Amino acid sequence: MRFIDYLDKGASLGIEAPCLTMDGRDLSYGDVQKLSYRIARAFERSGIAPGEKVAILSGNDPLAFSCVFGISRAGAVWCPINPRNEAAENKFILDGFDCSLLLFHSSFAAMVETVRQDLPKLRTLVCLDQEMPFTPSFERWLSGLSDDPYQREVVDDLAMIPGTGGTTGKPKGVMLSGRNIETMTALTLMGYPFKGRPVYLALAPLTHAAGVLCFPIMTLGGRIVIMHHPDIGEFLDLIERYRVTHTFLPPTVIYMLLDHPKLDRSRLGSLQCFWYGAAPISATRLAEALQRIGPMAQLFGQTEAPMMISMMAPEEHYNPDGTIAMRRLSSAGRVSPLVQVAIMDADGKILPTGERGEIVVRGPLVMEGYYKNPQATAEASAHGWHHTGDIGHIDGDGYLYIVDRAKDMIITGGFNVYSIEVENALRAHDSVQDCAVVGLPDDKWGERIVAVVQPRAGQSVDPTALLAFVKQQIGSVKTPKQIEVWDSLPRSKVGKVLKPDIRERLTR
């Protein structure tokens, strides 16, 4: 399936039904469908051939997201650009991914003006919302084009090239095929509750997880309510106003939601599935979310194997007697039905149940490779499996537990300590909003465990009391030798904690 197939499936269930909603205004399935025909024709008029790369640089916006379907209908390849990127990174992506055309919002005009002179492959620029001195507006670009059905054939199954959201180095272009997205969509529909026409609320950037979750919603003719900027109060209002059934937030934003004074006054009974993922979550805060929000649902994936390597549906958060399954809350869910997951040692040997090693994946969810980077592709696919870079184990019930990133394991006093285990113990304390644990060189221990903690709003952290709390949970070997209290943790554009930045600051 192509992206347009999800839109067309939704349209077949009723073209008048609302498809994309923002600020109280709707685009129906018929509106988005007709717009995609015009956009596809505009690409052809601009000389964009099937297989060429088209980038979109915009915040959350229904018009920008509609362009994804025009790209697909033209047989081109979507290159989503994170709106939080700096100019140098966008220049690297536009050039390195061979983008021929860029659609952008006027709020990024200064950035585009800065980089466009150094991008000879970028033949066409289009501003989504107004005329620019150096490029036409979207409306002028579409002028005179019919909205009758129109579609071009694709040259292969390449659907999109997102950049890796890693915490170090240049982004790599991840080649995701139509089959990859179709597998992700199938897993979503089979693994989580959907009753009636869903209403999905997108607060997180549509260039990432929040965007690809729109495709399964569309297959059911659902409505996608888009927020153009993150606001927890508005998020709660929109759930009530539109009777939202599905949404997604990363853990850091869920913590903000739990601390928001409006939460307990909000009516959230319409929610069927509140997805969380993209980073580890505190089991204590997750249990709080289950009690105060409702049906939470975990997903674990990465750009190279989007979203659904493992899954935990709302009902799996509970024991048969209705109590919260606290141990299971520390897992990443159960391995997905259409995915093979194994635990591998450094020599490529598959390890038995319960043993720790690198999490490796194969199957139709896994990317085609890194764009124009055969060396990185070969490294990531050694021994016939995709290597996630995460250390974990699988228990006897098929639940996957992630214990660390491979590069973040700390060796202290001859013992292997996984930072996530220490972080989970720290997050269990009432005063801790979030934290990060790193290893720093130490003459005595080889590496000493250092924790940086961010206090919850309105609270202070007592390092001595916190150390005693952690020691009681996981013992002295794994307890940090040092605790630093910072107002916030450094994060990447996609919200990942930047441990290299933390190490650098701690060693200055």
Which parts of 381-443 are beta strand (E)?
386-394, 400-405, 410-412, 415-417, 432-442
Smallest Cα–Cα separation from 104: which of 123, 127, 79?
Answer: 127
Is it the case that residue 493 has pLDDT exceeding 80? Answer: no
Q: Encode pLDDT of 188-231 as tens digits.
A: 999 999 999 999 999 988 988 889 999 999 999 999 999 998 89
**Mean pLDDT in the chain?**
93
Q: 169: pLDDT confidence band, cut at 50, 70 and 90?
A: low
- Pick from 42-51, 401-410, 495-504: least confident: 401-410
Is it the case that residue 3 has pLDDT exceeding 60? Answer: yes
The secondary structure of 465-504 as a DSSP string is HHHHHHHHHH-TTTS-SEEEE-SS--B-TTS-B-HHHHHH
* Confidence (pLDDT) at 274: 97
Q: Which residues contact 281 (CB under 8 A, 6 or more apart)?
A: 251, 254, 298
Going from the N-terminus, what domains does the chain have, and what CATH number goes with each? 27-175 (3.40.50.980), 409-506 (3.30.300.30)
Smallest Cα–Cα separation from 338: which of 480, 190, 457?
Answer: 190
Is it the case that residue 168 has pLDDT exceeding 50? Answer: no
Rounded mean pLDDT, 488-506: 86
Residue that is written with structure tokens 């001595």 in the block: 464
Instruction: Please state, in angstroms and rounded to a whole number, the distance separating the CA atoms of residues 310 and 289.
Output: 20
Q: Encode pLDDT of 32-82 as tens digits.
A: 999 999 999 999 999 999 999 999 999 999 999 999 999 999 999 999 998
Rounded mean pLDDT, 257-274: 96
The answer to whether 212 and 200 are in contact (CB under 8 A) is no
Smallest Cα–Cα separation from 277: which of 247, 304, 257?
Answer: 247
The answer to whether 453 and 464 are in contact (CB under 8 A) is no
Is it the case that residue 118 has pLDDT exceeding 80? Answer: yes
The answer to whether 478 and 451 are in contact (CB under 8 A) is no
SS3 at position 394 = strand
The answer to whether 220 and 193 are in contact (CB under 8 A) is no
* Confidence (pLDDT) at 343: 97
Which amino acid makes up residue 176?
Answer: L
Q: 165: pLDDT confidence band, cut at 50, 70 and 90?
A: low
Q: Encode pLDDT of 337-363 as tens digits.
A: 999 999 999 999 999 999 999 999 999
Instruction: Please state, in angstroms and rounded to a whole number, the distance separating the CA atoms of residues 362 and 158.
Output: 18
- Pick from 95-104, 165-174, 289-298, 448-457: least confident: 165-174
- Pick from 183-192, 256-265, 340-349, 410-419: least confident: 410-419
Which amino acid makes up residue 361?
Answer: V
Rounded mean pLDDT, 176-193: 98
Rounded mean pLDDT, 22-40: 97
Smallest Cα–Cα separation from 83: which of 234, 238, 211?
Answer: 211
* Confidence (pLDDT) at 167: 44
- Pick from 16-30, 263-277, 399-413: least confident: 399-413
Instruction: Please state, in angstroms and rounded to a whole number, the distance separating the CA atoms of residues 410 and 421.
Output: 11
Token pair listed for 16: 């008048």
Phi, psi of 81 (to 5 degrees): -115, 130
Is it the case that residue 170 has pLDDT exceeding 90? Answer: no
Which amino acid makes up residue 373?
Answer: N
The answer to whether 61 and 85 are in contact (CB under 8 A) is no
Give percent above pLDDT 90 in the chain: 80
The answer to whether 303 and 361 are in contact (CB under 8 A) is no
